[in-house]
Amino acid sequence: MSFDFTPGMLVQNPDRPDWGIGQVQSAIGNRVTVNFEHAGKVTMNLAGARLEPLDGDPDPRNRG
């Protein structure tokens, strides 16, 4: 499954639930920088990490 991540989106990492909810800061190619509640700013390569968007995203462009 593939998602287009945009700044402002709320996400979670299902492999690291202890990080809490994160907000996407930037997304360039496979690299996404997210500011998580309990882990701070993390840059992830989506080729080897999972991120899932959360319902209730505050950015109306990301709603169905």
Domain boundaries, the chain: 1-47
Determine the Cα–Cα distance for residues 58 and 43; give it in Å rounded to an integer.
Answer: 21
pLDDT of residue 42 exceeding 80: yes
pLDDT of residue 12 exceeding 80: yes
pLDDT of residue 64 exceeding 50: no
Q: What's residue 4's pLDDT?
A: 87
Residues 6+ apart with CB under 8 A from 41: 25, 33, 34, 35
DSSP state of 54: P
Query: Who wins on pLDDT, 63 or 17?
Result: 17
DSSP state of 26: E
pLDDT tens digit sequence for 17-30:
999 999 999 999 99
Q: Which residue has the tokens 């701070």?
A: 40
The H or E element containing residue 33 is: strand 31-36
